[in-house]
């Protein structure tokens, strides 16, 4: 008798096991261990798929796995920003959207574009002021949250904010890209929607562009899928397959990268070139503010051998950048802030490389 397939809704399966097992074919003779690539734009009529814009078995496998990890139903998209745009589109004409003033640059730019076209009113809030954040929720249609925020690494107490938003009748979406479902599950805290740039930690190897939304609300799921089908913001089959393969090692990569980050934070705090270290206490994202200003921060990102000067994050390789090099970054982000995505290399090599570059600045 063939083994029963492992389902992601089985409560006894822990997150690391789900990451490895969810979305695989049934345990039957001659079935492949991994979900294969289904390269098809058209299907024989009479079933659920019909056409390549409506679904794909390879997408479905990734969606099953991520949905299991977040505790909801998942839809994959062509990019994290495509997923974000689909969520922001839930806000009706003339309504208000609340978001952190320090949030992913692409999300803030989308909100600015929507406001400039008269679609919504965007209110960007200092999320370190909990009272101001709660008050801002009072007449919102959609509250968009990040915790930790990007790139300031501020942490939000999600539950009271979600409760306040729901009391006002607003939807709540949480961008969980930095934390991943291994460290935080916003749906368990009451959020309506979880958004991911799967380009980052979920795929984990800097070779995929993919986004995702997860929800437990079947009606919302239907609305979002209908929107994805209509505008065609669908993932590529190869990208979904690569993201699922990357997801299989998410727990190992997060564990190693987080351990590296925590050790580097401890050492960075004592270096004279570093005026401030920002770390939320979990995950592998760190930010430092250099004492000698923006030029020193730019110099640092060009002086290392292992650390790569790059704008993305969440991969196995350690990357960093001065965020204010982007003109669209919030003016409240310090000029000398360097956002660091700590990878899975040996921490001693990472520190030797970083320390040498920092020493040259003092």
Both 74 and 92 in one domain: the answer is yes
Last residue of a domain, one of 231, 247, 263: 247
CATH number of the domain at 50, please.
3.40.640.10
Both 151 and 57 in one domain: the answer is yes
Check residue 3 and give its pLDDT.
40
Helix (H, G, I), strand (E, B) or coil at 211: strand
List, in sequence order, every residue forming a beta bridge with 18; answer none if it has no partner. Answer: none
Last residue of a domain, one of 227, 247, 267: 247
Q: Average per-residue pLDDT in the chain?
A: 95
Check residue 101 and give its pLDDT.
97
Both 34 and 162 in one domain: the answer is yes
Q: What does the block give as tokens for 201?
A: 């930690």
Residue whose C-alpha is closest to residue 288's, from 349, 239, 209, 341: 341
Residue whose C-alpha is closest to residue 354's, from 258, 265, 259, 253: 265
Its sign, for the CA torsion 65, 317, 251, 105, is negative
- 6 within some domain: no
Rounded CA separation 122/294 (Å): 29
pLDDT, tens digit (0-9, with 9 covering 90-100), for 166-208 = 999 999 999 999 999 999 999 999 999 999 999 999 999 999 9
Residue 104 is among the residues annotated as catalytic for this protein: yes
pLDDT at 86 over 60: yes
Both 229 and 313 in one domain: the answer is no
Rounded CA separation 40/351 (Å): 47
Rounded CA separation 67/256 (Å): 23
Both 240 and 268 in one domain: the answer is no
Contact 81, 111 (CB under 8 A): no
Check residue 9 and give its pLDDT.
52
Helix (H, G, I), strand (E, B) or coil at 124: strand
Q: What share of the chain is helix, strand, coil (3-state, %, to 5)?
A: 40, 15, 45
Both 125 and 175 in one domain: the answer is yes
Provide the domain count of the chain: 2
Helix (H, G, I), strand (E, B) or coil at 198: coil
Contact 20, 62 (CB under 8 A): no
Q: Which residue has the tokens 């998410």?
A: 250
Last residue of a domain, one of 221, 247, 273: 247
Q: Which of 101, 119, 171, 175 is catalytic?
A: 175
Both 32 and 159 in one domain: the answer is yes
- 2 within some domain: no
Q: How confident is the model at residue 109 (pLDDT cuts 50, 70, 90)?
A: very high
Contact 319, 310 (CB under 8 A): yes
- Phi and psi at 157, nearest 5°, equal -80, 95
Q: Which of 73, 101, 200, 228 is catalytic?
A: 200
Phi-psi sector, 169: left (phi>0), alpha (psi -120 to 50), beta: left
pLDDT, tens digit (0-9, with 9 covering 90-100), for 203-216 = 999 999 999 999 99
- Phi and psi at 107, nearest 5°, equal -65, -45
Q: Which domain holds residue 351?
A: 250-359
Check residue 2 and give its pLDDT.
37
- 193 within some domain: yes
Residue 200 is among the residues annotated as catalytic for this protein: yes
Both 231 and 258 in one domain: the answer is no
- 297 within some domain: yes
Rounded CA separation 81/104 (Å): 10
Q: How confident is the model at residue 12 (pLDDT cuts 50, 70, 90)?
A: confident
pLDDT at 6 over 50: no
Both 145 and 38 in one domain: the answer is yes
- 1 within some domain: no
| Residue count of the chain | 362
User: Lowest-pLDDT range, 2-11, 62-71, 106-115?
Assistant: 2-11
pLDDT at 159 over 80: yes
Check residue 138 and give its pLDDT.
95
Both 148 and 254 in one domain: the answer is no
Stated pTM of the model: 0.95
Both 238 and 286 in one domain: the answer is no
Q: Which of 24, 73, 101, 104 is catalytic?
A: 104
Check residue 5 and give its pLDDT.
45
Q: Collect all residues with Cβ–Cβ distance below 8 Å to 128 and sequence separation of at least 6.
A: 154
Q: What does the block give as tokens for 238?
A: 């190869």
Rounded CA separation 340/336 (Å): 13
Both 53 and 183 in one domain: the answer is yes
CATH number of the domain at 335, please.
3.90.1150.10
- 8 within some domain: no
Contact 258, 341 (CB under 8 A): no
């Amino acid at each position: 008798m063939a083994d029963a397939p492992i389902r992601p809704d089985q409560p006894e399966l822990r997150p690391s096991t789900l990451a490895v097992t969810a979305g695989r074919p049934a345990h039957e003779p001659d079935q492949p261990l991994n979900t294969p690539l289904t390269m098809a734009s058209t299907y024989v009529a009479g079933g659920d798929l019909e056409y390549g814009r409506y679904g794909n078995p390879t997408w479905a496998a990734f969606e099953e796995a991520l949905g299991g990890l977040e505790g909801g139903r998942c839809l994959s998209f062509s990019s994290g920003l495509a997923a974000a745009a689909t969520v922001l589109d839930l806000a009706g004409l003339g309504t208000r959207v609340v978001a952190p003033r320090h949030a992913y640059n692409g999300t803030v730019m989308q909100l600015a574009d929507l406001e400039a076209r008269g679609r919504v009113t965007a209110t960007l809030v200092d999320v370190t002021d909990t009272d101001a954040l709660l008050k801002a929720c009072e007449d919102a249609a959609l509250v968009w949250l990040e915790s930790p925020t990007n790139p300031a690494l501020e942490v939000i107490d999600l539950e009271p904010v979600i409760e306040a938003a729901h009391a006002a009748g607003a939807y709540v979406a949480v961008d969980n890209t930095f934390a991943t479902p291994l460290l935080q599950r916003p749906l368990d805290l009451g959020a309506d929607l979880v958004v991911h740039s799967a380009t980052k930690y979920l795929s984990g190897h800097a070779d995929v562009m993919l986004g995702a939304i997860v929800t437990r609300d079947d009606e919302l799921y239907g609305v979002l899928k209908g929107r994805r089908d209509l505008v065609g913001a669908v993932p590529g089959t190869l990208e979904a397959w690569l993201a699922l393969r990357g997801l299989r090692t998410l727990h190992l990569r997060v564990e190693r990268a987080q351990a590296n980050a925590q050790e580097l934070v401890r050492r960075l705090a004592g270096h004279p070139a570093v005026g401030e270290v920002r770390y939320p206490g979990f995950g592998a994202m760190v930010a430092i503010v250099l004492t000698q200003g923006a030029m020193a921060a730019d110099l640092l990102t060009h002086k290392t051998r292992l650390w790569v000067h790059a704008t993305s994050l969440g991969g196995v390789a350690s990357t960093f950048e001065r965020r204010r090099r982007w003109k669209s970054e919030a003016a409240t982000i310090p000029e000398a802030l360097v956002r660091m995505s700590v990878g899975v290399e040996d921490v001693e090599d990472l520190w030797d490389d970083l320390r040498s570059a920092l020493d040259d600045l003092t």
